[in-house]
């Protein structure tokens, strides 16, 4: 099966490289002044005993709506509020660039932490880095649940493909009989959340990834452009890119990922473990600022302002109209289905324990990556989850922040999870889940 042409690859990789150079060499931190009408949160007097060891940190983000808590914490002065007055929130070109900048750290011109795909801190801790050496990482919080989408090119609109991908399998088979051999679907990073949602959806419909279709990585901001030029049949990415595709009439949304797995975990706030271990009070201050920002982002009355802020050129550089509706849970699939309003599958930042990093969810991500051959089958997944997932730090920050006890989970497991096709994942028995799956590499 053919992959992207060399010319197409160079276009993609070249853009990422150029943006990486900007991130390393000549980026300037966004100012702390919001263009919105709301005032920033006034600074509080930090108890000297709790004062952060340092006031500066560099945090990366990708232009996706689920990075909003970091941006809002910056724009609303929440980092300042907890004594971290010199935090920079720096745009990254792609997930590989984010990984590489985390590997070198801020002292080497990179970053200390990031808005990140949840599996990536595990890959880095296991040595899947540019230099093939482990970079121990901590997950401090989940940034959101839900809020991603799988979109399909207009060429397949008449097939009305949604949760069931079988129609796409039949379309591929028919096209192959007519001589077409190149079928591409895109995600944002191998083994990342979008890759796993795409593969789960394809496999549930009997489509074998890498056999029936090529699964290729594309940076989120380049998804719509690649669909426009006919480079792909489908993609999985976060917002605002699915909504933008619909708004531009290039394709449609087959499903939002909450339909695959209701209230599924998505992005994380992760930091280098050596930075956190050296600056525990600073890490706690960052975590408190992000938690407060997540609460702010969750409130319906703040959605419009949140979207106006993140849409700015220094953040996403997209029209706010591409962000706002799905942020409110209003979903135009773009294929004639009725408009969904106030969907319970909207992106959540705080509601229903969206911020708490359940260890059971990380066990699923690692099990799925074993399924697709991204990590060794004999990986001790419970051991590495206990090292990387610092839900204890989340609890400590939440209690100091004054979060109500009812909003702090009492267990590190959300229990047995059920997917759209009836498959269940018991975090106490991940091997049984793996055995039950018909399509897998292992």
Q: What does the pLDDT average to over 142-168?
A: 96
pLDDT of residue 57: 98
- The partner residues of 267 in beta bridges, in order of sequence, read 117
pLDDT of residue 44: 61
pTM for the structure as a whole = 0.90
pLDDT of residue 163: 97
Q: Residue 214: what are its φ and ψ, rounded to 5°?
A: -85, 135
CA dihedral sign of residues 20, 24, 28, 29: positive
At 191-250, the pLDDT tens digits run 999 999 999 999 999 999 999 999 999 999 999 999 999 889 999 999 999 999 999 999
pLDDT of residue 231: 86
Q: 297 by DSSP, 3-state: which?
A: helix
At 354-373, the pLDDT tens digits run 999 999 999 999 999 999 99
Gap between the Cα atoms of 300 and 278, Å rounded: 37
Report yes or no: 213 and 185 within 8 Å, Cβ to Cβ: yes
Q: What does the pLDDT average to over 325-347?
A: 97
Percent of the chain scoring above 70 in pLDDT: 90
Of the candidates 146, 172, 237, the residue with the CA atom closest to the CA atom of residue 198: 237
| Sequence-ordered strand ranges (E) for 240-378 | 251-256, 267-272
pLDDT of residue 27: 33
Report yes or no: 189 and 95 within 8 Å, Cβ to Cβ: yes
Confidence label for 1 from pLDDT (cuts 50, 70 and 90): very low
Gap between the Cα atoms of 319 and 322, Å rounded: 6
At 53-65, the pLDDT tens digits run 999 999 999 999 9
- The partner residues of 137 in beta bridges, in order of sequence, read 272
What single string gives the DSSP state of each residue in 392-424? HHHHHHHHHHT--GGGS-SSS----EE-TTS-E
Any idea which residue has 């401090």 for tokens? 140
Residues 319-326: contacts with CB under 8 Å, at least 24 apart: 321/247, 322/240, 322/243, 322/244, 322/247, 323/65, 323/239, 323/240, 323/243, 325/243, 326/65, 326/147, 326/239, 326/240, 326/242, 326/243, 326/256
* Helix (H) or strand (E) run with residue 216 in it: strand 214-217
At 115-143, the pLDDT tens digits run 999 999 999 999 999 999 999 999 999 99
């Amino acid at each position: 099966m053919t992959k992207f042409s060399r010319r197409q690859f160079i276009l993609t990789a070249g853009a990422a490289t150029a943006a990486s150079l900007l991130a390393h060499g000549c980026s300037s931190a966004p100012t702390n002044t919001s263009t919105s009408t709301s005032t920033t949160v006034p600074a509080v007097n930090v108890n000297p005993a709790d004062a952060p060891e340092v006031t500066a940190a560099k945090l990366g983000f990708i232009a996706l709506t689920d990075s909003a808590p970091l941006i809002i914490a910056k724009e609303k002065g929440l980092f300042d509020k907890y004594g971290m007055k010199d935090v920079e929130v720096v745009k990254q070109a792609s997930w590989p660039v984010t990984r590489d900048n985390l590997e070198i750290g801020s002292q080497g011109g990179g970053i200390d932490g990031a808005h990140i795909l949840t599996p990536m801190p595990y890959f880095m801790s296991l040595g899947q880095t540019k230099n093939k050496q482990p970079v121990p990482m901590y997950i401090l919080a989940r940034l959101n649940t839900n809020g991603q989408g799988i979109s399909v090119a207009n060429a397949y609109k008449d097939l009305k493909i949604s949760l069931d991908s079988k129609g796409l399998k039949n379309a591929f088979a028919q096209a192959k009989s007519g001589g077409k051999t190149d079928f591409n679907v895109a995600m944002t990073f191998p083994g990342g959340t979008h890759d796993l949602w795409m593969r789960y959806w394809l496999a549930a419909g009997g489509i074998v990834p890498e056999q029936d279709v090529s699964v290729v990585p594309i940076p989120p901001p380049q998804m719509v452009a690649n669909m426009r030029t006919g480079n792909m049949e489908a993609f999985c990415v976060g917002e605002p890119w699915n909504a933008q595709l619909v708004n531009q009439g290039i394709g449609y949304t087959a499903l939002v990922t909450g339909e695959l797995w209701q209230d599924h975990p998505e992005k994380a706030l992760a930091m280098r473990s050596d930075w956190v271990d050296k600056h525990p009070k600073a890490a706690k201050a960052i975590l408190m600022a992000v938690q407060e920002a997540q609460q702010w982002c969750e409130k319906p009355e703040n959605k419009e302002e949140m979207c106006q802020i993140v849409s700015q050129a220094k953040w996403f550089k997209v029209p706010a109209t591409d962000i706002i509706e799905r942020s409110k849970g209003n979903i135009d699939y773009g294929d004639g289905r009725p408009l969904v309003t106030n969907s319970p599958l909207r992106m959540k930042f705080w509601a229903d324990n969206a911020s708490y990093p359940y260890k059971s969810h990380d066990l699923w991500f690692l099990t799925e990556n074993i399924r697709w051959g991204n990590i060794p089958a004999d990986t001790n997944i419970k051991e590495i989850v206990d090292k990387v997932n610092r839900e204890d730090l989340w609890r400590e920050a939440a209690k100091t922040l004054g979060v109500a006890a009812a909003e702090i989970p009492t267990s590190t497991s959300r229990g047995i999870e059920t997917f759209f096709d009836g498959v269940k994942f018991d975090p106490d028995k991940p091997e049984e889940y793996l055995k039950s799956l018909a399509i897998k590499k292992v």
